[in-house]
Structure 1
Amino acid sequence: MGRGRPGRIALKEDIMREGSLEAPTRHAHDWRSPDYLDPTRVDAELRRQFEICHGCRRCFNLCDSFPRLFDLIDAAGDAELAGVSTPALKPVVDACTLCDMCFMTKCPYVPPHAFDLDIPHLMVRYRAMETARGNTPFVARQLTRTDRNGRLAGLAPALANWATRRGNRLTRPLLKLAAGIHPDADLPRYHADTLEKRARAGAPPINQSAPALGRKAVLFATCFGNYNNPDIGSAARAVLAHNGVVTELVYPECCGMPQLEHGEMEEVARKARSVARSLGEWIDKGWDIVALVPSCALMLKFEWPLIEPGDEAVRQLAAATWDITEYIVDIARKEGLAPGLKPVPDGVVLHLSCHARAQNMGAKGADLLRLIPDTPVKVVERCSGHGGSWGIKTGFFPVALKVGKPAARQAADSGCGHLAAECPLAGAHVAQGIEGIDPASRLKSSRHPVEIFAAAYGLSGGNR
């Protein structure tokens, strides 16, 4: 699994010939190998890759992991990672949000470069080792059980939302004590009227005056779209129906991204196999698969095939999956959109989520909003700092705000009247950052681009 630490001279020579003329590639997670969880081999690979990062330092301002690493090496005093103890490296791993931006946008040494760096997947491997050794806290793992948590909260959403409301001086200190959740972190709301329940009430009527596209799309609800913000799914179905696309709502279970954050590889693999077979029945009948949240689209398209590379159903699903913004933009490009879009004259500032960028599909959220006539659109590409369950923890929430401050400031200074974000968690975090910068800002909450798009059509599900 490890290659040994490169010599300093060889490292400097390769820095002068950074990158490759070939497209980046990614290896499968070798999580079934006994070596994958072996602490000695994990430490060796951690040091091999971190030593190369130390010699480059291009990612110094990308997140909090790399500054922590470089500070450790600098404090050791010998300009070598060898002076840093193995336990001291854990905070570097803990600070990684698995945003994938180092691999996708910064690192010149990703495969097929001989240095073969993949820091996000290395972090997953380290966490898988920690989980296998029983070092992942029980409460932290319970927070990732999004389906169970969503179903329970949906039984009494008013009570759940009251208890998790920021500023509740009775319950938020208890959440800090019991679950390590920072009292000031904004938490998602829950709904009894889930997206699955809305779907059972029937699909929106197809616009008979729209072009006959012949497209049929299954919307993969995602746990967030089902339990926390069903308006995203309602808006997506309304927009697609208005453009002549027949839709169905399907949600077998969560994609497993929360479990991937803790390296629970067997559970993620089980989800991949189960969901791929469920959605495969629709694919075989000619339906497209459309995910409502970028992290989930990333899992279906890219991570699942690297976790179960030999599974044909998983590969088939990856090839058939679209992100919702990507899908609507493709309709606009190939068939054309139904008329009726009205301008959003005070403009939209879009936070382009890391997991949308990691799909390597272009800035489709921005492309979607630019289809709205006479609507100024500005884009923020800096990390929000949230990182899923990472950003709400007591030990990380202040860091999350710090990392996300540049994104919040860009959005606050945009002059736009609406804040959009493809990732709902990132959008809420950016809005909270804006609140700290400019309490009088109009940008007090964010919406998914498809919600704004539906509102521009005047469709229900896209509330202005």
Structure 2
Amino acid sequence: MLCSICSCSKKSKHILLFPRWQNQSRSRWLVEKRHELLSEKCLYSNKSKSADKKFRYPIPWTDPAFYNKNSLERETRRVFDVCNGCRLCYSLCDSFPNLFDLVDGSKTEDVDSLSTTDFSKVVNSCTLCDMCYINKCPYTPPHPLNIDFPKLMLRHKSVETSGKHDVVKLDRFGIDRKLASVQESTGSKFGSDSTHRSATGVSNVDTMSKQSIFTKLMSKNYLHSLYTNMDLMGTIATSSRFMTNLVNWITQTTDPPSFARIILSKFAHIHERAKLPVYVSREETFVRSWKRLNQLPNKKAKAFATKKRITIYATCSVNFNKPHIGEAAHAVLLHNGIEPHVEYNRCCSMPQFEAGKLVRVAQVAIDLAERLCMYIKQGHDIVVLTPSCLLMMKQEWPLLIPNNENIHILSKNCYDLTEYMVKLKKEIGIVPIPELDTTVSLHHACHSRSQNVGFKALELLKMIPKLKIATIERCSGHGGSFGVQKKGFEIANKVGKNVFKQTLENIERCTTDEHFISSECPLSVEHIEQGVTDLAKQAGKILDRAKIQTKHPIEILARAYRLC
């Protein structure tokens, strides 16, 4: 049957897109509005999913217009209007349901009647996972509508967090200081406190000087920047055995919550039930422990003859919290004839990127790219142990500083760990893998999906004979620091509920002695385990904790090789 709206053959899709308004006049209105927006015969003439969608415009964060609030409001209303007429992303993160509820509840049921204060409800729910851009949105560049929802959310976060000190920092990038000084007419905080002075008669500097030191230290933004500074927290927590035990005692998750977690919840706005990373001692960090491991590569492996050279970028999560992932990767690479070098000198600044602190991110990008390019010029490939860090190096850094040669070189020569192992298998060959008779619930992390390289973790684990794999390709809901905040933890659990449910069903069907919950993202796998435990408790089910283990895919491969 032809669609009565546009005479196309996709009427069923039009109806399924709006199940809440099926057989109602609003469904017709939304479809008509969409066609008006697109000026096309049918929305579905464009592909909603594209495996090769890689084009993106650079982020103009050094342009003062980027921080112009009036310009930002106009662009936000334009994008929201297109999203409201499409609604394909309704089932993704909480940003889109919030947006659509705001529009439906407004006076005119249109974006024009939304207040700018309503925008924060949408912005604060976005974790910059890029799933809407990669998998759903049909209007991304080079489409004339030019919709990049995650980068619009990033712009909002950057305008909110930018400060007067950013003007000086921009000089490092060869940008004229006058360009960074935004005039009062722009309505932006960036580069000048003139806007604040004109509104209140008092400058930001005067206001800050009158605040007590305690007030500054206890402010939400300061505490957020403190606990998302992974290198600072990692250095403090691993400085001594006493500090490691103290930090882990303070951050441990208990039922009921401990007094320390209640204090963290009150002042640092960290949810008292959110599972926080466990730190290891200084000598157990990966950059130190790998030197005590076996350093002799397997001379019988095919890759040994090629003299391949790689550098493992350890990442803050593996270095300070989960060195066993790095040790498993090191053992597997040695077993396959490759002797890796391990490098870690600072975090990739993904937490700062999520908060919109682009100046800080650009500084880190230049320093870290220069360091890693030193190894690339010596013939090394860069293997990254966490997909979020790889996403920064491959996609976000080149968008921030597109003309930096080191960043360009790094983006072309860095690989995810599972991606590299699959590449090694196809190009050279790996040591035959013994059987491993167990089951795995394998989660495809959002930041892995965003890279458009395929489900490499699945390809890797399929190489293991007798391993039973159940894949989960939905968002776990964690979203980095978002998933541990008071306002984000419950949303993260809501978004990840389907993942928890599917994992619990896999565990119940498991007939082997153990079941692995696995993901390339170390934060997601812990969040899934906690969600599964809570879901089973709510249903009155008892889980065999000895049977369930959280593992990175490389740890499962190391287990099959009998290396750990």
Alignment TM-score > 0.5, same fold: yes
Please give the alpha-carbon distance, in whole angstroms, between the structure 2 residues aligned to 1:187 and 1:446.
15
Percent of matched pairs sharing the same residue: 38
Aligned to 1:384: 476
Equivalent residues of 1:293, 1:423 under 8 A apart: yes
Q: What is the Cα deviation at residue 189 of structure 1?
A: 0.4
Match of 2:456 among 364, 383, 391: 364
Q: What is the Cα deviation at residue 136 of structure 1?
A: 7.4
| TM-score normalised by the chain length of structure 1 | 0.94
Say whether residues 1:127 and 2:153 are aligned partners: no
Aligned to 1:178: 267
Q: Which has the higher contact order (CA 8 A, sep 6+)?
A: 1
Aligned to 1:3: none
Aligned to 1:315: 408
Please give the alpha-carbon distance, in whole angstroms, between the structure 1 residues aligned to 2:382 and 2:220.
33
Aligned to 1:152: 236
Q: What is the Cα deviation at residue 10 of structure 1?
A: 3.3
Please give the alpha-carbon distance, in whole angstroms, between the structure 2 residues aligned to 1:450 and 1:332.
14
Say whether residues 1:304 and 2:391 are aligned partners: no
Aligned to 2:369: 276
Please give the alpha-carbon distance, in whole angstroms, between the structure 1 residues aligned to 2:320 and 2:43.
49
Aligned to 1:190: 279
Match of 1:428 among 526, 536, 543: 526
Equivalent residues of 1:412, 1:441 under 8 A apart: no
Aligned to 1:199: 290
Provide, for residues 6-28 of structure 1, a one-character-per-residue CA deviation record: whole Å limited to 9, x for no partner. Answer: x8763153482453698451111
Instruction: Give the match's secondary structure for 2:490.
Output: helix
Provide, for residues 280-326 of structure 1, a one-character-per-residue CA deviation record: whole Å limited to 9, x for no partner. Answer: 11100110000000000111111111111000100000000000000
Provide, for residues 257-278 of structure 1, a one-character-per-residue CA deviation record: whole Å limited to 9, x for no partner. Answer: 1000111111111111101110
Q: How many residues align?
A: 453
| TM-score normalised by the chain length of structure 2 | 0.78
Match of 1:220 among 302, 307, 313: 313
Equivalent residues of 2:438, 2:466 under 8 A apart: no
Moved more, 198-207 or 370-379: 198-207
Aligned to 2:252: 165
Please give the alpha-carbon distance, in whole angstroms, between the structure 2 residues aligned to 1:136 and 1:38.
24
Listed as ranges, the matches of 1:394-409 within 5 Å are 394-409=486-501
Equivalent residues of 1:435, 1:444 under 8 A apart: no
Say whether residues 1:458 and 2:562 are aligned partners: yes
Instruction: Give the match's secondary structure for 1:413.
Output: helix
Listed as ranges, the matches of 1:15-30 within 5 Å are 16-18=42-44, 19=46, 23-30=53-60
Instruction: Give the match's secondary structure for 1:377.
Output: strand
Provide, for residues 111-147 of structure 1, a one-character-per-residue CA deviation record: whole Å limited to 9, x for no partner. Answer: 1111111111111111000001499711111121000
**Which consecutive unaligned segments of at least 5 residues does structure 1 have?**
1-6
Bigger-Rg structure (1/2)? 2
Q: What is the Cα deviation at residue 343 of structure 1?
A: 2.8
Listed as ranges, the matches of 1:56-67 within 5 Å are 56-67=86-97
Provide, for residues 333-380 of structure 1, a one-character-per-residue CA deviation record: whole Å limited to 9, x for no partner. Answer: 1111112x3333221111110000001100001111111111111110
Question: Alpha carbons of 1:284 and 1:12: their partners in 2 closer, same or farther (altered >3 Å)?
Answer: closer
Tell me which amino acid in the other structure corresponds to 1:210: A
Q: What is the Cα deviation at residue 252 of structure 1?
A: 2.1
Aligned to 1:4: none
Q: What is the Cα deviation at residue 200 of structure 1?
A: 3.5
Question: Alpha carbons of 1:319 and 1:203: their partners in 2 closer, same or farther (altered >3 Å)?
Answer: farther
Equivalent residues of 1:207, 1:242 under 8 A apart: yes
Please give the alpha-carbon distance, in whole angstroms, between the structure 2 residues aligned to 1:201 and 1:280.
26
Match of 1:441 among 533, 536, 543: 543
Say whether residues 1:353 and 2:439 are aligned partners: no
RMSD between superposed Cα atoms in Å: 1.8
Say whether residues 1:143 and 2:236 are aligned partners: no
Please give the alpha-carbon distance, in whole angstroms, between the structure 2 residues aligned to 1:398 and 1:202.
41
**Of Structure 1 and Structure 2, which has the larger fraction of its residues in helix?**
2
Instruction: Give the match's secondary structure for 1:438.
Output: helix
Instruction: Give the match's secondary structure for 1:246.
Output: coil
Please give the alpha-carbon distance, in whole angstroms, between the structure 1 residues aligned to 2:434 and 2:501.
28
**Which consecutive unaligned segments of at least 5 residues does structure 2 have?**
1-32, 163-188, 190-203, 205-218
Provide, for residues 220-249 of structure 1, a one-character-per-residue CA deviation record: whole Å limited to 9, x for no partner. Answer: 011101101111111111101100112000
Please give the alpha-carbon distance, in whole angstroms, between the structure 1 residues aligned to 2:330 and 2:361.
28
Please give the alpha-carbon distance, in whole angstroms, between the structure 1 residues aligned to 2:227 and 2:94.
23
